[in-house]
Structure 1
């Protein structure tokens, strides 16, 4: 069994009305308020009002006072009363019930007053459903409930005795949610209208025998209620009373959800009708939405909570589709100010993405291009920020014009190849948006990779302008891997950036002929011969057997321009010679060699094999290359014959040729039989 410890106090007459005993010391303001409210509730006692209950929040404290007052005719002075008060912490207000409070209130006796309330008391209570006592007279209960919760003014009701409505007052107090219950001030027997902290009590009963004209001034702001002619209760009142009769906490729980546990009674008038609709048969979240949005009495924070409940109910009734449709409707509302709900709707949008990405993407697509309110713009932004690259698969051509704006808000989407497949001609705009963002290098890398992986023609200059050498490096790697086709646009753009191409080559951990092939498309052997020579030697050495004619011709051009017996001659001359002999070499490749291999005779400038043989012969003679070096370069009979012919035709070179032939005879272990025979032919 649960229990609550509460303090107590007794007030009564002793040379004036005063505090006689208490288990708690209070501040001056609280003590003064309690002294006034524990005294007789009017100037004179009326029959039937010799005892009554009072409940009120104690000003300046976190306590709620639940008190009972008895007329004290035994005292010699007229108008004296006894009051026993229980001081309940507001945090415990929802734990206590009137069945546990009422037995603890006892009429004080003159003897032993000083020690009668010096210790707190323990209230024992069980968490059981409330008994239906107090709402037996449904018409009276409905009229009072409607007056208390259906409007915000204090309520004053005329009664014949203080006990007449006591049980109804207590049941209404019990039905309130914790925040309202802790702030609700009431009195079952006010001989004149009473106030707490300068404001009239929320609900009080006054003697019907006293003409209302006597307290019209003190209670002019109150709703004067005559229970002798009750009206027809609204549907929500019936629902509250029926739930209370069954011992249910539906109304309290719903109000705490909608208004907040700490909301006061003033939050009720705008909500009770919606409560009625909420539990009305055949009412759905969609039908409640208009009330939740348009009812004028709600505070902004309450409207936000209520709208969240409506959206959650839509999700419970129809799944993610229901939540999405209500969000979509709210984004287009122009006759209601929803600015206070912006954060809620953004959060609901993110929740929709958690529930169903398909429905969330549908929301985003429906809002794109729609005529939105300011709140709608916020919802759309929240949706766009929640998009992931995979969500772009739901986009179609109709959304392509919005892609630059979407990516500007959510740059992470630019790392999705699907975006670039749909971007089309708007790729330039998207890259311009991204370029305005301060993206990290890693993100720029990812964007370039996505563009290249999309399989669509890339906006070359825009991409290179966006990512600089990063784009060049990524493009070259994609070309080398066979993931990207050469295009005139790439050739034009990269050819104008030879330094970036060289940096890419130098940055490769292990060069292969494939990387050399790609680089040869964009740089000339003349751009940086020393750097290129080093890289060509490294790349060809890794896989000499797989070098292409283009790579060989490029390497030969580097070797001939070096004017030394470069190792590139051994790997590049013979393949180039063979391709020239077969007439299969590319025009650009021959263009690299043209100036380095001038014609021997002007009428035979067409003989390209003779021209490179002559260039090699001059280089070999000038370097006095050994027979071993010559045979490492010239591996075919036809190439040896061509070079020997050039050497033999020039009297300045004949001596060098003669020395090679003598070395061949003297050292039969150098070269192959075929190489030696070709060199000695005709000697």
Structure 2
């Protein structure tokens, strides 16, 4: 680390005598010349010196200037000023400002070569400030620290003790300041009158004027004591009294995070205090307190980056508890928006915990799942769990935390595509189906398994799901109708059965392979298939044997009307059988005037009207239509004798046959 230096003194007027760097005419060079001149202060009881501390190059560098009264000069009022300049942007964080006191040297006339050399520091020793604590009370020290941290100016303090103690006090304060505040601070320990830096005030000016503020008798002492100050500031003060205190190095390390805000400085101090207590085992603060400090004082992701990186690291966070407890506190925190995922490394820590201690991992995710709200870290942990738990563990996990997890499961593409949700209990499965239906299913392809689950569970299908099943399951109609035609499936959602109508040809092909139908399928066929449709006519009459076989002569009239209309698609023996099964039932219902206009409209097209037949005589109209159709079929008049179980009906049919 390089320290630059300059020497000012008398040479036909006060000015620069030597420097370790080119001193060009600038505002800073003029300022150095001005501040290095005599202030009028004398202290003959000591080495007759004082110091001035001030920033240069808009705060990028800092000047530590020691001025001696040059009594050896013939001209009165001459002084020597040796200035050491520290580059704050290139300063090692272990550098202790108090070491600079060792490098000040009072010059000899015309012997200035030493001041033209740069000072190189390779080892960073530390100094203490014990004299400060022995001579100044804690309240005064804390007040001065607070004054500087608050960016206040123009405090003029009377030096009631040796001047060198106030120099030490300035070094002490500077040593514990964050860099961004240090860039604007200026002190003076020797003047009889008020000094300024160009048009700006010194932060604190120590003077020999007894009318200035006395630290011994300050008015605040009646109102304040050490405990009146912020806990973070008190911690800094307490630590500064220890030998080999590491805080100055840490203040410099985290100076960018602290910036020039005293509140952030206090938060930094409290973080350090929490870590100290955790290391020493004196007190195990909840890690949540660390998170609150980071969130409250560094609320955006860009703030406190290095502090967050360190305190969120596994190395430091584990000082506050076991890994599973730390990960839970991070997941349980109200919001993780102030943290960057990259330095929390939450995902990799979850993976490590699962690999190294699976039981702790299970306990952790179960606790996380029960949280009322999930931050981004909780979501990351739960999504990892859903993706990696074995099937039984996952089912147990979901079962124990269903109310909390179902929304997250609905957004997990891996869980959807894996099909494990198809094995959930019916109520959970149906909830997931509803969510996935709304989201469009994405890359899901286990449609046949889904269909079977819906059939077994009696789950209804909306239009979109039904369409996808029909499009993606090759034998969907067969599976659905087989289930519907089986008494093992107690409850099949009507909406699911309805989807087979999208493929009417498949329905008819399925019918051809059946020997019998149950009531559920019978009702579906009669209610949804048009027996007079072109699709039905294209198929052989034999496919309807299953429907015909279930006739017990006690069916609803709807059944017999369906058979009657169906028979007119063909002229074979099965067509005749269908007519024989249905005609008498329809005839008797007509004779009782029990067939409404809706049903009559279905069979009216298969009747035959003559001018001599009254319109109200629907039995006769029906009979004429039947006989007319039978004559077109493979049928003889002799068969009419046994056509109906009612002899009177048979006689009427024979009479019509002979007549037309």
Structure 2 CA distance for aligned equivalents of residues 55 and 269 of structure 1: 24
Gaps of 5+ in 1: 332-338, 369-376, 506-512, 514-520, 531-553, 562-572, 609-647, 651-683
1:520-567 CA distances to partner (integer Å, 9 max, x unpaired)? x9999999999xxxxxxxxxxxxxxxxxxxxxxx9xx97759xxxxxx
1:408·1:433 contact (CA, 8 Å) conserved in 2?
Answer: yes
1:494·1:501 contact (CA, 8 Å) conserved in 2?
Answer: no
2:477·2:500 contact (CA, 8 Å) conserved in 1?
Answer: no
Could you tell me how far 1:242 is from its partner in structure 2? Answer: 5.5
Structure 2 CA distance for aligned equivalents of residues 649 and 292 of structure 1: 95
Structure 2 CA distance for aligned equivalents of residues 494 and 282 of structure 1: 70
Residue matched to 2:521: none
Structure 2 CA distance for aligned equivalents of residues 349 and 527 of structure 1: 71
Give the SS at the match of 1:88.
strand
Structure 1 CA distance for aligned equivalents of residues 457 and 579 of structure 2: 40
1:283 aligns with 2:283: yes
Residue matched to 1:84: 82
Could you tell me how far 1:145 is from its partner in structure 2? Answer: 5.6
Structure 1 CA distance for aligned equivalents of residues 381 and 448 of structure 2: 22
Structure 2 CA distance for aligned equivalents of residues 348 and 363 of structure 1: 23
1:496 aligns with 2:501: yes
Q: Output the aligned Cα RMSD.
A: 6.0
1:588-642 CA distances to partner (integer Å, 9 max, x unpaired)? 9x9999766644498766999xxxxxxxxxxxxxxxxxxxxxxxxxxxxxxxxxx
Give the SS at the match of 1:395.
helix
Residue matched to 1:260: 257
Give the SS at the match of 1:284.
coil
Equivalences for residues 465-614 of structure 1 within 5 A? 465=464, 469-476=467-474, 487=492, 489=494, 491-498=496-503, 598-600=571-573
1:317 aligns with 2:320: yes
Structure 2 CA distance for aligned equivalents of residues 108 and 225 of structure 1: 42
Give the SS at the match of 1:107.
coil
Could you tell me how far 1:271 is from its partner in structure 2? Answer: 4.8
Structure 2 CA distance for aligned equivalents of residues 198 and 258 of structure 1: 28
Structure 1 CA distance for aligned equivalents of residues 15 and 68 of structure 2: 15
Could you tell me how far 1:126 is from its partner in structure 2? Answer: 1.6
1:218-259 CA distances to partner (integer Å, 9 max, x unpaired)? x9xxx8999xx997999735751364x1x2525643784597
Residue matched to 1:210: 209
Count the aligned residue pairs: 513
Structure 2 CA distance for aligned equivalents of residues 435 and 380 of structure 1: 26
Structure 2 CA distance for aligned equivalents of residues 46 and 117 of structure 1: 25
Give the SS at the match of 2:29.
helix
Residue matched to 2:163: 162
Could you tell me how far 1:123 is from its partner in structure 2? Answer: 0.9
Structure 1 CA distance for aligned equivalents of residues 405 and 288 of structure 2: 34
Distance 1:485 1:367, change over 3 A: farther
| 1:124 maps to which of 97, 121, 124 | 121
Equivalences for residues 175-254 of structure 1 within 5 A? 185-189=186-190, 191=192, 201=202, 206-207=206-207, 209-211=208-210, 213-214=211-212, 236=235, 239-241=238-240, 243=242, 245=243, 247-250=244-247, 252-253=249-250
Gaps of 5+ in 2: 354-360, 485-491, 514-523, 551-558, 582-633, 637-660
Could you tell me how far 1:54 is from its partner in structure 2? Answer: 3.5
Could you tell me how far 1:101 is from its partner in structure 2? Answer: 4.0
1:193·1:200 contact (CA, 8 Å) conserved in 2?
Answer: no
1:53·1:67 contact (CA, 8 Å) conserved in 2?
Answer: yes
Distance 1:560 1:605, change over 3 A: closer
Distance 1:352 1:132, change over 3 A: same
Structure 1 CA distance for aligned equivalents of residues 446 and 192 of structure 2: 80
Residue matched to 1:135: 130
Give the SS at the match of 2:76.
coil
| 2:399 maps to which of 396, 401, 415 | 396
Could you tell me how far 1:53 is from its partner in structure 2? Answer: 3.6
2:532·2:569 contact (CA, 8 Å) conserved in 1?
Answer: no
Structure 1 CA distance for aligned equivalents of residues 84 and 196 of structure 2: 19
Residue matched to 1:539: none
Give the SS at the match of 1:54.
strand
Structure 2 CA distance for aligned equivalents of residues 251 and 320 of structure 1: 30
Could you tell me how far 1:71 is from its partner in structure 2? Answer: 1.9
Could you tell me how far 1:67 is from its partner in structure 2? Answer: 2.6
Give the SS at the match of 1:285.
coil
Could you tell me how far 1:343 is from its partner in structure 2? Answer: 2.6
**TM-score (normalised: structure 1):** 0.56
Structure 2 CA distance for aligned equivalents of residues 303 and 25 of structure 1: 37
| 2:70 maps to which of 61, 69, 72 | 72
Residue matched to 1:676: none
Could you tell me how far 1:43 is from its partner in structure 2? Answer: 3.9
**TM-score (normalised: structure 2):** 0.57
Give the SS at the match of 1:472.
helix
Could you tell me how far 1:284 is from its partner in structure 2? Answer: 1.9
Could you tell me how far 1:289 is from its partner in structure 2? Answer: 1.8
Structure 1 CA distance for aligned equivalents of residues 476 and 344 of structure 2: 39
Distance 1:604 1:105, change over 3 A: closer
1:56·1:185 contact (CA, 8 Å) conserved in 2?
Answer: yes
1:57 aligns with 2:55: yes
Could you tell me how far 1:475 is from its partner in structure 2? Answer: 4.1
Give the SS at the match of 1:268.
helix
Structure 2 CA distance for aligned equivalents of residues 215 and 263 of structure 1: 26
Structure 1 CA distance for aligned equivalents of residues 505 and 158 of structure 2: 91
Could you tell me how far 1:58 is from its partner in structure 2? Answer: 1.4
Equivalences for residues 435-474 of structure 1 within 5 A? 442-443=442-443, 445=444, 457=457, 459-462=459-462, 464-465=463-464, 469-474=467-472
1:57·1:184 contact (CA, 8 Å) conserved in 2?
Answer: yes
Give the SS at the match of 1:497.
helix
Distance 1:292 1:90, change over 3 A: same
Could you tell me how far 1:461 is from its partner in structure 2? Answer: 2.8
Distance 1:358 1:602, change over 3 A: closer
